[in-house]
């Protein structure tokens, strides 16, 4: 029993949950601190998560920092594009459902790529075929073949950046 608790207890997770709890409450107080600790211990001990699939994971910090800056630039661009599509005096654009490959080797990297893509306006991943590493995406603006090709290229670029960030080079 004690070994089971010791194996599940991850103090860094408890601290992280406590910090998030305090931020969600909007102010620092002793009650929020102890409440966050209680929630953190409960989550870590009563709801254990499986081990993360991080074997052979390498982080290229320079590429990660460049990715974050590029992602925020793309976020601003995509937000302006979606706002224009919503406000322009024309009919709504045609949408499309596409299947695109995502050739990352690690499930955690696939998850991070999916989050990065879904947080951008204009498209979303609606299904993930993990066995074949294939995304099914919904694209907001697929009026022309060039729009579809551009979105597929965006996914391929995201895939390339994720591989550059997280996969070791031999």
Q: Which CATH number characterizes residue 156's domain?
A: 3.30.70
Residues 39 and 120 occupy one common structural domain: no
Confidence of residue 11 (pLDDT cuts 50, 70, 90): confident
Q: State the Cα–Cα distance between residues 148 and 164, nearest whole angstrom.
A: 24
CA distances from 139 to 19, 114, 134, 170 (A): 36, 14, 15, 35
For the cut 80, the answer to whether the pLDDT of residue 113 exceeds it is yes
Domain that holds residue 129: 61-166
pLDDT(165) > 80: yes
The answer on 76 and 26 residing in a single domain is: no
Whole-angstrom distance, CA of residue 96 vs CA of residue 152? 12
Verify that 90 and 25 share a domain, yes or no: no
> Are residues 158 and 82 part of one domain?
yes
Domain count, the chain: 2
Q: Which residues contact 19 (CB under 8 A, 6 or more apart)?
A: 36
Interacting residues of 138 by C-beta distance below 8 A, sequence separation 6+: 95, 96, 97, 123, 124, 126
In a domain, 55, yes or no: no
Indicate whether 26 and 77 sit together in one domain. no
Reported as type and span, the H/E element at residue 97 is strand 96-101
**Model confidence band, residue 12 (pLDDT cutoffs 50, 70, 90):** confident
């Amino acid at each position: 029993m004690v070994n089971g608790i010791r194996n599940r207890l991850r103090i860094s997770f408890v601290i992280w949950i406590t910090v998030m709890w305090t931020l969600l409450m909007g102010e620092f107080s002793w009650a929020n601190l102890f409440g966050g600790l209680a929630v953190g211990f409960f989550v870590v001990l009563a709801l254990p998560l499986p081990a993360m699939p991080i074997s052979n994971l390498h982080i290229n910090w320079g590429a990660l920092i460049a990715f974050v800056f590029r992602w925020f630039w793309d976020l601003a661009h995509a937000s302006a594009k979606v706002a224009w599509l919503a406000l322009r005096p024309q009919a709504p654009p045609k949408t499309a459902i596409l299947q695109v490959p995502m050739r990352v080797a690690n499930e955690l990297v696939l998850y991070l790529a999916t989050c990065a893509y879904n947080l951008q306006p204009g498209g979303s991943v609606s299904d993930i075929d993990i066995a074949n590493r294939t995304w099914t995406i919904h694209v907001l603006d697929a009026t022309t073949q060039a729009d579809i090709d551009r979105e597929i290229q965006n996914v391929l670029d995201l895939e390339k950046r994720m591989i550059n960030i997280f996969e070791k080079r031999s």
